[in-house]
Amino acid sequence: MSPATLVVAAGRPERTQGAPVNPPVILSSTFVSQGVPGAGEPLYGRMDAATWHPFEETLGTLEGSVHPALVYASGMAAIAAALSLVPPGGRLVLPRHAYQVTLGYAQDLRDRLGIDVTLVDIADTDAVVTAVREPRAASMLWIETPTNPMLEVADLPVLVEAAHAAGALVGVDNTFATPLVQRPFEHGADVVVHSVTKYLAGHTDVVLGAALADDDDLHARLHAYRTLHGSIAGPFEVWLALRGLRTLALRVERAQANAAELARRLAEHPAVAEVRHPSLPADPGHERAARLMDGFGAILGLRPHGGPDAADALVAALRLWVPATSLGGVESTLERRRRFATESLTVPEDLLRMSVGIEDVEDLWRDLAQALDSL
């Protein structure tokens, strides 16, 4: 079945007479149990919760994994679980423009566990292929594609092959693309993570993460990490995320169409110095995205003429677009990323990251055009 059908049909209760169409939320920290518990028997809420399963099964199916996904308290909790697969003293190669908290966590691993951290331009395939081999083999190659916030597109199959040849695991943060647009397991990735907070939940009302692995041993290690660290999700969060996931196909389709149209119009506006979106034929990521992805995503990069002050003035002049961090909600949001001292210094100071929502594209454009004209 197509992903657009799976998001609606997967993770439903059995169809018996009188059964609910939606799975229930079970609010119980413990379950009746005596004697030696059998495998998979409900026991205690930190180990497992039936309310997680419909979401975990649906996301596992969407990503084409042989196992259900594992939900975590947040995207960062899922990333911490995935990066725990790098042994102390190992080598981690990751994009210099990865999500800034992922980069911060990698520095923490370097300081605490002696993990050697190498930052790369993930769009520079030759540089990444060299980095996974030299000066010594990497333990893990971490990939974001498109990257947050620079929208660089990686040559996923080539990088996975090179990493595996060097004996490295490959982890992919698939938050920006969603499994509707890109399924990293099809290209051989070992671990996939999501900030479910973003597109999968989609309504800016829940913080949640997920990690997936095809390999039995890796899946068991991610599961054990969650139980040992207690980085679990609450039942309401997972229920909300499943409710949001039901409309993922419609939301992504609309948001992507809006983003491509706005990118095209922005590129022609005299107040715009640069617009980044892989849908634009002149974008450096266009050819790869067209070859490897089922769409171009709904995040734009915008640099107005006039530097960071003009970027801030543009944000302040908007009435419909919401000035806020985060992304992937139904509402359009934007922010100047370098307002954070922790953002990578190679991200231009005037870059606005725009998360395009599902509003009417003409309303979004009218608001942008009046703000650009006011600069």
Ligand X SMILES: *Cc1c(COP(=O)(O)O)cnc(C)c1O
Coil, strand, or helix at residue 105? helix
Question: According to CB under 6 A, which one of 173, 190, 214, 335 is a site residue for ligand X?
Answer: 173
Report the residue number, 82 or 272, with the smaller CB distance to ligand X: 82
d(CA 293, CA 133): 27
Question: According to CB under 6 A, which one of 65, 175, 332, 355 is a site residue for ligand X?
Answer: 175
For residue 197, give both structure tokens.
């907070």
Which contiguous run of DSSP H or E holds residue 310? helix 307-317
Residue number of the CB atom closest to ligand X? 75
Residue 142 binds to ligand X (criterion: CB under 6 A):
no
The yes-or-no answer on residue 46 being catalytic is yes
Residue 195 binds to ligand X (criterion: CB under 6 A):
yes
Which is nearest to 199 in space by CA: 333, 96, 293, 106?
333
The nearest distance, CB 152 to ligand X, in angstroms, is: 13
Strands (E), 128-232: 140-144, 169-173, 191-195, 209-213
Residue 75 binds to ligand X (criterion: CB under 6 A):
yes
Question: According to CB under 6 A, which one of 51, 74, 256, 355 is a site residue for ligand X?
Answer: 74
Residue window 88-117: x/- pattern of binding to ligand X, with contact defined by CB under 6 A: -----------x-x----------------
Q: In what order do the strands lie in the sheet with 352-355?
A: 272-276, 299-304, 352-355, 333-336, 322-323
Report the residue number, 74 or 272, with the smaller CB distance to ligand X: 74
Task: Determine phi and psi for 169, rounding to 5 degrees.
Answer: -75, 155
The nearest distance, CB 167 to ligand X, in angstroms, is: 26
For residue 2, give both structure tokens.
């197509």
The yes-or-no answer on residue 124 being catalytic is no
The yes-or-no answer on residue 99 being catalytic is yes
Residue window 143-172: x/- pattern of binding to ligand X, with contact defined by CB under 6 A: -x---x------------------------
The nearest distance, CB 317 to ligand X, in angstroms, is: 26
Displacement of CA 309 from its chain's centroid (Å): 29
Strands (E), the chain: 70-72, 91-95, 116-120, 140-144, 169-173, 191-195, 209-213, 272-276, 299-304, 322-323, 333-336, 352-355
Q: Are 83 and 106 in contact (CB under 8 A)?
A: yes
Question: According to CB under 6 A, which one of 187, 198, 219, 288 is a site residue for ligand X?
Answer: 198
Part in contact with ligand X (CB under 6 A); list of ranges 43-51, 127-135, 173-181, 224-232: 173-181
Tell me the number of residues near ligand X by CB under 6 A. 15
For residue 71, give both structure tokens.
């939900």
Which residues are tagged catalytic?
46, 99, 173, 198
Task: Give the footprint of ligand X on this chain (CB under 6 A).
Answer: 74-76, 99, 101, 144, 148, 173, 175-176, 195, 197-198, 207, 209
